[in-house]
Amino acid sequence: MPARTRRAEVGVVDLARELGVSTATVSRALNGSDTVRPELAARIREHASARGYVANRLARALSSNTSRAFVGFVIPYVDTPAYSAVAAECARLLSADGTQMILTITENDPQRELAQLQDLVATRVAGVIVSPSSGVLERSRELLRDLPTVEFHRSADIGAPGVFSDDGQSLSDAVGHLAALGHRRIGYIGQSEAISNGAARLRAVRRGAQRAGLDPDAMATRLLEPDARNGPRAVRELLERADRPTALVVGGGTLSMPVAREIRAMGLRLPEDLSLIVYGDPSWFALSDPPLTTVSVRYPELAGRAARLLLARISGSTADAPGSDRVPSEPVASELVASELVASELVHGGSTGPPPGP
Amino acid sequence: MPARTRRAEVGVVDLARELGVSTATVSRALNGSDTVRPELAARIREHASARGYVANRLARALSSNTSRAFVGFVIPYVDTPAYSAVAAECARLLSADGTQMILTITENDPQRELAQLQDLVATRVAGVIVSPSSGVLERSRELLRDLPTVEFHRSADIGAPGVFSDDGQSLSDAVGHLAALGHRRIGYIGQSEAISNGAARLRAVRRGAQRAGLDPDAMATRLLEPDARNGPRAVRELLERADRPTALVVGGGTLSMPVAREIRAMGLRLPEDLSLIVYGDPSWFALSDPPLTTVSVRYPELAGRAARLLLARISGSTADAPGSDRVPSEPVASELVASELVASELVHGGSTGPPPGP
DNA sequence: TTGAAAGCGCTAACAT
DNA sequence: ATGTTAGCGCTTTCAA
């Protein structure tokens, strides 16, 4: 009564028995080893698919201690397009490679991050793509150092290659653009310097100011954790100052939307009352009237590179033989794969103009 | 020279040897079995943590053939907040349960979907949360039937419980609202009826029209695959008709943004030239001036319910003993867990008003 | 309450 | 080119 299939119950042993060969041969045939007689291999593969055989990935990964069955994708948030778009693209590319992507959200909590990294190690992931939390624990760093790692968006200084948006030029362009329009008091709302890219972006903004002949130290600045709730408060604080800025630059994707919203809520007209330059993907701000001038980040490009970089690292890594007393993973290996920078670009909308008259 | 730790190399055997007990006892202690002398159990746990022991999840899952080490999360897209927000929330909740979430993106391709489901089965996932593609294959349905499954957003009619946004009331309210303002020609841009929620939303819209005394069959309607590129074309087609609609309702999250953008690009003023009601999270449309009237979906609520529902199903399922010739999973079990509906709500922005004079 | 030993399903030496 | 045989690291009967 073969009415109901005994789903997923066939294993290599069954196939081997049914075909009168050994499990080793079955395994080899299924894994495309060239040491199997082609005709036999074909017959085995055919039979396997006929029986609806699906290899147990757990057993496979456990046995061959080095596999690329899984990779980890560790990010602080995913409800911001900056991360979700990258997650999607990576899952896609990795899936094409037969690799499953385990998604974990740290919520920017170092403890949670550590726990999740440990769990990933426990799953023997082949590698991780990570956007570290603001206060990465030393223990997390160690784990990452012993794993093929690709950083993105943020760096935790673990000597792993990464994929980052290079905002130096566009952010300093942004400030230059505002200065050229006549703005002297330019405010900056960015990410905390505890976050690697927060520091880099701040430097870029200051450089832009300097080049424009403004005093970087005189800029009104608010550096925050990239939490949506932090944006509006910063806006109010900056705009309530005595030397109220006539223009605002936002240096973070998560902060941009709330900031823009708050400015609208305050009833300010762009660019008559205030000039504004935000950060992220212009499409997020497309409904605004006028559309917002944006430091446009190439998220899909970043995602693709991160996925490919990890796959390259995984393939390249000559797994240390277990038990070998070799010095743990020479740092050299990490440095051979360089980080990749993808430049963002200042896209002009209509939210910048000359400062309001005094 | 204990300078460098031999990371993650300690296993139960090591612990057992070092403590002079058996691996069985170690395993029991670590898993909180109550058959171990409390004092011994404590000592074992302590030593384990001291040695930095982290259990190999692969071995664990392989051994105890039923584990909740992994669940699958299968969605068509993730670059739309409707999905990414849910993915984030689920990853969070599952992680708290010690479960890792494998994210796969089908891109609405049934073949890819099947392949990914097979891979998930091969990983022995404890269950899956799935938003099926438009043309689910019968083979995929079978796989899903044999797995604790929770559907969300869309249904593939596999007799599994699901979590859905109940848009019946709000969408028919939307049409009623427009009719009350005086609109007679209301256009609808929604998702293809091949998608379960596409059909449901269309019914709701028609019901709304009927109640308002309009002829549902006379409504200008465009049903599309939820691809961002499809929105603008539909807008143009509807607005270029001889009997051009004076109001538009959009019945899909992915379509709403592009539609709104296109309308802006056409230079139409809301609501003077056209009334518009979109679908999704009002915050996506907050920068629009006026803010858009929105069928507001409670995504975080949906996500939380989906995750909890799956966890409940997983815990509840008394895994059939392997080899037992029992009739495969009585459908009864599935029906015991009912689907959950979360009502969306019509949130008034300023994008609706009386139709323009003739 | 604890231990010995048999797997889980596969891959990888080592033989042949 | 194929088969034999150990494991991978854990859980889980079955005995004691």
Secondary structure (3-state) at B187:
strand
Interchain contact, B100 vs A78, CB within 8 Å: no
From the Cβ of B55, is strand D under 7 Å away?
A: yes
From the Cβ of A61, is strand C under 7 Å away?
A: no
Domains within chain B, CATH numbers bracketed: 12-55 (1.10.260), 70-165+299-341 (3.40.50.2300), 167-297 (3.40.50.2300)
Burial of A273 (0-12, 13-18, 19+ CB in 10 A): middle
From the Cβ of B36, is strand C under 7 Å away?
A: yes
B81 vs B197: which has the higher pLDDT: B197
For strand D, the positions having any atom within 7 A of a protein Cβ are: 1-13
Q: Is 90 exceeded by the pLDDT of residue A103?
A: yes
Per-residue pLDDT band for A38 (boundaries 50, 70, 90) equals: very high
CA B322 to C1' C8, whole Å: 12
Nucleotide nearest to B16 (CA to C1'): C3
Nucleotide nearest to A13 (CA to C1'): C9
Interchain contact, A264 vs B286, CB within 8 Å: yes
Pairing assessment for the beta strands A293-296 and A345-347 based on DSSP bridges = antiparallel
| Residue B76: CB atoms within 10 Å | 25
Calculate the alpha carbon distances from B105 to A83, A111, B76, B249 in Å. Answer: 15, 29, 5, 28
pLDDT of residue B334: 41
CA A112 to C1' D9, whole Å: 25
B251, B191 Cβ separation under 8 angstroms: yes
Among B54, B70, B287, select the one facing A121 at the smallest CB separation.
B54
Secondary structure (3-state) at B163:
strand
A185, A220 Cβ separation under 8 angstroms: yes
Which residues does chain A have within 8 Å of residue B146's beta carbon, measured at their own beta carbons? Answer: 7-8
In the predicted model, what is the mean pLDDT of residues A67-89? 86
Among B4, B84, B285, select the one facing A287 at the smallest CB separation.
B285
Give me the long-range contacts of A30-39 (CB less than 8 A, separation at least 24).
A30/A55
Residues of chain A (23-52) having a beta carbon less than 7 angstroms from strand C = 23-24, 27, 30-31
Interchain contact, B124 vs A98, CB within 8 Å: no
In the predicted model, what is the mean pLDDT of residues B29-45? 94
Secondary structure (3-state) at B73:
strand
Which is nearest to A56 in space by CA: B112, B121, B71, B104?
B121
pLDDT of residue A111: 96
Give the nearest chain B residue to A269 (CA atoms): B289
DSSP string, B311-327: HHHHHH--PPPTT--PP
Nucleotide nearest to B39 (CA to C1'): C1
Per-residue pLDDT band for B316 (boundaries 50, 70, 90) equals: low
The model's pLDDT over B76-117, given as tens digits with 9 standing for 90+, comes to 987 777 888 788 889 988 998 889 999 999 999 999 999 999
CA A123 to C1' C2, whole Å: 29
Three-class SS of chain A: CCCCCCCCCCCHHHHHHHHCCCHHHHHHHHCCCCCCCHHHHHHHHHHHHHCCCCCCHHHHHHHCCCCCCEEEEEECCCCCHHHHHHHHHHHHHHHHCCCEEEEEECCCCHHHHHHHHHHHHHCCCCCEEECCCCCCCHHHHHHHHCCCEEEECCCCCCCCCEEEEECHHHHHHHHHHHHHCCCCCEEEEEECCCCHHHHHHHHHHHHHHHHCCCCHHHCEEEEECCCCCHHHHHHHHHHCCCCCCCEEEEECHHHHHHHHHHHHHCCCCCCCCCEEEEEECHHHHCCECCCCEEEECCHHHHHHHHHHHHHHHHHHCCCCCCCCCCCCCCHHHHHHCCCEEEECEEECCCCCCCCCCC
Per-residue pLDDT band for B335 (boundaries 50, 70, 90) equals: very low
Q: Is 90 exceeded by the pLDDT of residue B121?
A: yes
Among A4, A88, A257, select the one facing B105 at the smallest CB separation.
A88
CA B4 to C1' D13, whole Å: 39
How many whole angstroms separate alpha carbon B152 and alpha carbon B131?
5
Beta bridge partners of B71: B101, B127
How many whole angstroms separate alpha carbon B129 and alpha carbon B117?
11
Q: Is 70 exceeded by the pLDDT of residue A322?
A: no
pLDDT of residue A337: 60
Which residues does chain B have within 8 Å of residue A100's beta carbon, measured at their own beta carbons? Answer: 102, 104, 119-120, 123
B102 vs B315: which has the higher pLDDT: B102
> A210 to chain B, minimum CA–CA distance in Å?
32
Which is nearest to B290 in space by CA: B263, B271, B267, B264?
B271
Q: Which residue has the tokens 């997983």?
A: B314
CA A45 to C1' C13, whole Å: 24
pLDDT of residue B337: 60
CA dihedral A41, A43, A49, A50 (to 10 degrees): -170
- How far does Cα B311 stand from its chain's mean position? 15
B68 vs A335: which has the higher pLDDT: B68
How many whole angstroms separate alpha carbon A95 and alpha carbon B72?
13
Q: Which residue has the tokens 């959009």?
A: B250
How many whole angstroms separate alpha carbon A184 and alpha carbon B202?
54
Interchain contact, A62 vs B56, CB within 8 Å: yes
Interchain contact, B257 vs A98, CB within 8 Å: no
Interchain contact, A77 vs B88, CB within 8 Å: yes
In the numeric block, which tokens belong to residue A350? 């209509």
B279-316 per-residue burial string, b: 16 or more CB within 10 A, e: under 16: bbbbebbbbbbbbbbbbbbbbeebbbbbbbbbbebbee
pLDDT of residue A358: 65
B143 vs B6: which has the higher pLDDT: B143
Q: Is the peptide bond between A290 and the residue preceding it cis, with omega within 30 degrees of 0?
A: yes
Please tell me the total number of residues recorded for chain B in this structure: 358
CA-based max dimension of chain B:
92
For strand C, the positions having any atom within 7 A of a protein Cβ are: 1-13
Torsion sign over Cα B123, B126, B129, B135: positive
Interchain contact, B124 vs A328, CB within 8 Å: no
List the strands of the sheet with B247-251, edge to edge: B220-224, B186-191, B247-251, B275-280, B293-296, B345-347
Among B56, B146, B285, select the one facing A7 at the smallest CB separation.
B146
pLDDT of residue A319: 38
Q: Which residue has the tokens 């209509």?
A: A350
> Smallest Cα–C1' distance to nucleotide D2: which residue has it?
A25
Q: Is 50 exceeded by the pLDDT of residue B64?
A: yes
The model's pLDDT over A212-261, given as tens digits with 9 standing for 90+, comes to 999 999 999 999 988 888 899 999 999 998 999 999 999 999 899 999 99
How many whole angstroms separate alpha carbon B209 and alpha carbon B220?
12
The model's pLDDT over B253-304, given as tens digits with 9 standing for 90+, comes to 989 999 999 999 999 999 999 999 999 999 889 899 899 999 999 998 999 9
A211 vs A78: which has the higher pLDDT: A211
Which residues does chain B have within 8 Å of residue A293's beta carbon, measured at their own beta carbons? Answer: none
How many whole angstroms separate alpha carbon B273 and alpha carbon B259?
15
Q: Is the peptide bond between B271 and the residue preceding it cis, with omega within 30 degrees of 0?
A: yes
Which residues does chain A have within 8 Å of residue B77's beta carbon, measured at their own beta carbons? Answer: 88
How many whole angstroms separate alpha carbon A312 and alpha carbon A202?
32
How many whole angstroms separate alpha carbon A88 and alpha carbon A73?
11
Please tell me the total number of residues recorded for chain A in this structure: 358
| Residue B339: CB atoms within 10 Å | 16
Q: Is 50 exceeded by the pLDDT of residue A187?
A: yes
- H/E element, B275: strand B275-280
Per-residue pLDDT band for A326 (boundaries 50, 70, 90) equals: very low
Which is nearest to B49 in space by CA: B82, B10, B80?
B10
How many whole angstroms separate alpha carbon A248 and alpha carbon A346?
14
Per-residue pLDDT band for A4 (boundaries 50, 70, 90) equals: very low
pLDDT of residue B264: 92
Calculate the alpha carbon distances from A157 to A105, A125, A195, A332 in Å. Answer: 20, 21, 11, 15
How many whole angstroms separate alpha carbon A60 and alpha carbon A62?
5
> Smallest Cα–C1' distance to nucleotide D9: which residue has it?
B59
How many whole angstroms separate alpha carbon B187 and alpha carbon B175?
10
Residues of chain A (164-183) having a beta carbon less than 7 angstroms from strand D = none
> Smallest Cα–C1' distance to nucleotide C2: which residue has it?
B25
> A209 to chain B, minimum CA–CA distance in Å?
28
The lowest-confidence range among A20-24, B227-231, B318-322 is B318-322
> B79 to chain A, minimum CA–CA distance in Å?
5
